[in-house]
Amino acid sequence: MALRFMEERIDFAAAFRWAARLGWQTGICNHFSWMVDDQHILINPRGLFWSEITASNLVLLDGDDNIIEGGDEVEETAFFVHVPTHRMNPAAKIILHAHTPHATALACIKDGELKWCSQDALKFYGKVVYDREFNGSVLDATEGERIARKLGNHQIMFMAHHGVSVVGQDIAHALNDFYLLEDFCRVQILAQSSGQELAIIPDAEIDRIMSMPSGHDPQVAPHFAAIKRVLDREEPEYRN
């Protein structure tokens, strides 16, 4: 019997494989999920490296949050955070959560936040929320719902002492945003490590830039296509 959402499964598996190449995975922990329609959610199975993910071993949950295809188990913390976030925030079609080194370093600094010192950072201006409340691992629905409410309509959430989540409408944009976010966090951490004062872009200039029509980012689709070309050549089994 053919698996459902095979095109989405292939793209999602590609995202996991590429994130593994970028060094984003932490053992077998951390989770990406995709609400592929009004009811169904794809998520990575418990116990696999991201570098082992294939289209067919991704778990599919139904509208009652039962596993109906793919792997046979989902890690608890993924279930309790991702599922309520998808259900409570319809715009959050994609949720990417990882403990990437530079974004997580920023989340571990007291009152750490993005500083608007680079044109690249402005992509996220007005789209970031900081969850300063740390309650340890999420092992019940109540904490997951709190996190979902905190996220609201934001695109990026830094989670104190923890990591970062990126949400989006499709996998190509969400993965591209996570890539740019982690890269900017790296630049900011490097700049701060100099001990020199950061050169913050003036508010008036930020307002001027943000008032410009943004339109569709023409780099996103070619970026994701390039990722899949490399994987098709070097790790074609991700499509299985």
pLDDT for res 218 = 86
The residue count for the chain: 240
Q: Is the model's pTM score more than 0.75?
A: yes
Q: Which residues of 148-178 are buried (b: 16+ CB within 10 A; e: fewer)?
A: bebbeebbbbbbbebbbbbbbebbbbbbbbb
pLDDT for res 158 = 97
pLDDT for res 1 = 59
Tens of pLDDT, residue by residue, the chain (240 residues): 578 999 999 999 999 999 999 999 999 989 999 999 999 999 999 999 999 999 999 999 988 888 888 877 888 888 888 888 998 988 899 999 999 999 999 999 999 999 999 988 999 999 999 999 887 777 778 888 999 999 999 999 999 998 999 999 999 999 999 999 999 999 999 999 999 999 999 999 999 988 887 767 889 999 999 999 999 999 999 999
Three-state DSSP state, 202: coil
106 vs 184: CA distance, rounded Å: 11
Three-state DSSP state, 131: strand
Dihedral over Cα of 101, 92, 14, 138: its sign: positive
pLDDT for res 215 = 63
Domain assignments of the chain as residue spans, ordered by start? 6-229
pLDDT for res 91 = 86
pLDDT for res 213 = 75
Instruction: Return the axis-axis angle of helices 6-21 and 220-234, rounded to nearest 10°.
Output: 80
Q: How many CA atoms lie within 13 A of 141 on its CB side?
A: 6
Fold of 6-229: L-fuculose-1-phosphate Aldolase (3.40.225)
Phi, psi of 3 (to 5 degrees): -75, 150
Q: Are 20 and 234 in contact (CB under 8 A)?
A: no
pLDDT for res 203 = 92
